[in-house]
Amino acid sequence: MLSLNSMVWEPSQPEAIERRPSVSHENLRIFDKSCWDISQSATNKILTGNKALDTHFGGGISLGHLVELIGNSGTGKTQMCLQLCLNVQIPKAAGGLEGSALFIDTRQDFHPDRLMGLALKLERQYAHRVPEFKAHKMLQKIHYVRCPKLDQLMATVLSCHRHLVDHPDIKLIVIDSLAFTLRMLEDGAHRYELLLELHESMRRLQRQHELAWVFTNVLTHRYVKQKFQVEPALGDLHSHLINERIWFTGSSELHLGKSWRTSRLIP
């Protein structure tokens, strides 16, 4: 079994956030890219492994998007995270991105044996088209960092830009789970402030490095209009800041939508 030592990426301490320089009018290149240019650009999708979901997304999860996987424990959220870390590496010869991934583990529930099983299955799937696409090489291209505490998660995300310069092929960053460490913070105002800081950092990295963020979240109970209802953790503003939310259910069905009430089943 592949040792995790070669995969571990230790975060540095958080750095002071640099103020963005002012942009002059001559540097604004507003009309350089059209919608046609974007449609004709190289592949910028990560296959999810679910045919119905990939069809709905037009070929997979887009780079530049924040995608949240929401559901109770044991519904398949981590499984999809692991699969995405492998699928982002599909060679260009087979229509993939040929990138790598960073897996940020806050729940300390990462199992390399589980990942290896998925990698071997993907290796067999592409054996005829790309015989050099091997499982052990896939695991070597997944960087791993453990962040059981909130300050470690903040330090990792805030220092990601320096690591992405050294690893420009990283096209996917996974946080499993985003809510786990944040919900340990009892001060709601401070938790809200840190959540916004994380979102700002993730968006900035997307603009600079063209990558996708995928993170998991949990369901919680909220008292609304004299009754309890089940809602995603982290609040309404967080829901508005993400691009897509995929709902996982105990019946293996997948739904898409910012809220459960308005979500739609992916057949």
Alpha-carbon gap, residue 141 to 152, rounded angstroms: 22
Which domains, ranges and CATH numbers included, belong to the chain? 43-265 (3.40.50.300)
- The answer to whether 63 and 202 have CB atoms below 8 angstroms apart is no
200 is written with which tokens? Answer: 């700002």
Q: Say yes or no to pLDDT of 6 above 90.
A: no
Q: Say yes or no to pLDDT of 124 above 50.
A: yes
Q: Say yes or no to pLDDT of 178 above 70.
A: yes
Give the pLDDT confidence of 43-98 residue by residue, as tens digits: 689 999 999 999 999 999 999 999 999 999 889 999 999 999 999 999 999 999 99
Angle between helical axes of 77-87 and 112-125 (0-180°, round to 10): 50
* pLDDT at res. 7: 52
Angle between helical axes of 150-158 and 188-209 (0-180°, round to 10): 30
What mean pLDDT, rounded, does the chain reach? 87
Alpha-carbon gap, residue 70 to 175, rounded angstroms: 12
In DSSP terms, 103 is beta-bridged to: 144, 174
Question: Hey, is 72 helix, strand or coil?
Answer: coil
* pLDDT at res. 229: 76
Compute, in degrees rounded to 10, the torsion defined by CA atoms 88, 89, 93, 95. -10
Q: If you compute the radius of gyration of the chain from its CA atoms, what whole number of angstroms results?
A: 19
Other beta carbons within 10 Å of 90: 24
Compute, in degrees rounded to 10, the torsion defined by CA atoms 89, 212, 49, 87. 10
Give the pLDDT confidence of 248-257 residue by residue, as tens digits: 998 888 999 9
Other beta carbons within 10 Å of 183: 15
* pLDDT at res. 2: 45
| pTM of this structure | 0.84
